[in-house]
């Protein structure tokens, strides 16, 4: 029996993780859950999974939860360090980090420092501070939840890291891949929130539409698998059946495939190195008919080019890119800027920032705060 904490249990990955755990009740016990604002959904999850701890930033929401669960059975942690605190408890074996954004970084570091397994969906932690996170982690202490990185990790079961020639990350291309370029700047948040193949939280859905999600994934792959940027290719594959591939030094290419369903990579991260039965829609290639592939268009989707730039330059680039993007995506969702301004404002901010090559955590957090302010100024 493994004890797990799910950070961001009320989100898309969080709910899928609970679905996995619901079907593996004899293997996993949920000891901790967390949310940001959706405390009522969190309360329902508490009723079903009976964790010992919950974490919620907002102390007023914590009070509401307390009234719902009086007595001492549920320990409610609040305040801006609550995610770091909840992972520290001795009984925790696995932490699933499914929060969105930079807020996941301190808890990811705390999880690793405590020697616990980190099932990582929150790619932003690696984008911001991959060099710090990876230098603290032991082999296989971080298990990828992101479907592409899980696919690479699964493909690597047939070869070693040192035998990788190249990884090929697939991208659906999002809802606008074939949309006319001159109309792209006028697409609305509602249009951008309609992803063709995956059901996800709002921020990553917008990132998928700009291809910034792929940009973040290039940086994530670089750190997770210790790759040079030249070893990372992206291919547009609209059907999202091949989740990514590894080309080994002998020319053999190993791919991981399946119908798009995040429960597969989530469960693999939880049960690794074993596999357990999971009821998912089976892959029926003859009914799909054809799998297609295209070269990504970095002029139409400049975010992808920025991802390669940030991956190559390293240092504080990742944190700056990520923070600028978080602010720009929110501004787009709030109707303040056009779709095309997301990437253009990120580009301005990363190219104006005070670059540090080997940043410590404090430098990373300073770069993050600066980029947020600067992006807001640039969007005013």
- Residue numbers at the binding site for ligand NDP (CB under 6 A): 8-14, 35-38, 57, 98-100, 103, 121-124, 146, 198, 200-202, 204, 262
Closest approach, Cβ 220 to ligand NDP, in A, equals 9
Q: Going residue by residue from 93 to 132, which x/- string records binding to Mg ion, judged by CB under 5 A?
A: ----------------------------------------
Q: Going residue by residue from 144 to 173, which x/- string records binding to Mg ion, judged by CB under 5 A?
A: --xxx-------------------------
Question: How, if at all, do strands 242-248 and 253-257 pair?
Answer: antiparallel
Residue 38 near which of Mg ion, ligand NDP, none (CB within 5-8 Å, type-dependent):
ligand NDP
Q: Which residues are paired to 7 by β-bridges?
A: 97
HSE (side-chain half, CA atoms, 13 Å) at 132: 23
CA 108 to CA 117: how far, in whole Å? 10
Closest approach, Cβ 38 to ligand NDP, in A, equals 4
Q: Going residue by residue from 127 to 146, which x/- string records binding to Mg ion, judged by CB under 5 A?
A: -------------------x
Q: What are phi and psi of 210, to 5 degrees?
A: -85, -10
Residue nearest to ligand NDP (CB): 11
CA 75 to CA 89: how far, in whole Å? 12
* For ligand NDP, the closer CB: 3 or 12: 12
Residue 81 near which of Mg ion, ligand NDP, none (CB within 5-8 Å, type-dependent):
none
Q: Which residues are paired to 321 by β-bridges?
A: none
* For ligand NDP, the closer CB: 37 or 158: 37
Q: How far is CA 6 from CA 36, 42, 72, 201, in A?
A: 13, 11, 21, 16
Closest approach, Cβ 256 to Mg ion, in A, equals 13
Q: Rounded to the nearest 10 degrees, how much is the dihedral formed by the CA atoms of 301, 306, 307, 313?
A: 160
CA 333 to CA 364: how far, in whole Å? 26
Owner of token pair 């700047």: 185
Residue 3 near which of Mg ion, ligand NDP, none (CB within 5-8 Å, type-dependent):
none
- The three-state secondary structure class of 32 is strand
Closest approach, Cβ 11 to ligand NDP, in A, equals 2
Residue numbers at the binding site for Mg ion (CB under 5 A): 146-148
């Amino acid at each position: 029996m493994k004890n797990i904490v799910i950070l961001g249990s009320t989100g898309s990955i969080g709910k899928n993780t609970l679905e996995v755990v619901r079907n593996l009740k004899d293997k996993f016990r949920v000891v901790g859950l967390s949310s940001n604002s959706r405390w009522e959904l969190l309360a329902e999850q508490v009723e079903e999974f009976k964790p010992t701890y919950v974490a919620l930033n907002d102390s007023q929401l914590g009070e509401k939860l307390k009234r719902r669960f009086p007595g001492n059975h549920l320990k409610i942690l609040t305040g801006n360090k609550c995610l770091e605190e909840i992972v520290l408890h001795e009984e925790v074996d696995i932490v699933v980090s499914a929060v969105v954004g930079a807020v996941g970084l301190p808890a990811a570091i705390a999880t690793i420092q405590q020697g616990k397994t980190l099932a990582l969906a929150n790619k932003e932690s690696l984008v911001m501070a991959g060099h710090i996170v990876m230098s603290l982690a032991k082999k296989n202490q971080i298990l990828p939840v992101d479907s592409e990185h899980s696919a690479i990790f699964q493909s690597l079961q047939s070869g070693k890291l040192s035998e990788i020639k190249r990884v090929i990350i697939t991208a659906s291309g999002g809802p606008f891949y074939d949309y006319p370029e001159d109309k792209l700047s006028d697409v609305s948040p509602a249009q951008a929130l309609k992803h063709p193949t995956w059901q996800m939280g709002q921020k990553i859905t917008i990132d998928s539409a700009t291809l910034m999600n792929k940009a973040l994934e290039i940086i994530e792959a670089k750190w997770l698998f210790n790759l040079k940027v030249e070893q990372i290719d992206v291919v547009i594959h609209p059907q999202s059946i091949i989740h990514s591939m590894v080309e080994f030094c002998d020319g053999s290419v190993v791919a991981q495939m399946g119908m798009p369903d995040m429960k597969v990579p989530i469960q693999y991260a939880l049960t690794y190195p074993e596999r357990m039965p999971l009821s998912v829609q089976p892959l029926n290639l003859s009914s799909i008919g054809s799998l297609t592939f295209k070269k990504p268009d970095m002029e139409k989707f400049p975010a992808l080019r920025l991802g390669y730039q940030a991956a190559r330059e390293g240092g504080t680039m990742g944190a700056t890119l990520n923070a600028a993007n978080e602010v720009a995506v929110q501004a787009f969702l709030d109707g303040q800027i056009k779709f095309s301004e997301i990437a253009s404002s990120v580009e301005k901010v990363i190219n104006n920032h005070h670059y540090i090559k080997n940043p410590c955590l404090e430098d990373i957090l300073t770069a993050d705060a600066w980029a947020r302010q600067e992006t807001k100024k640039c969007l005013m």
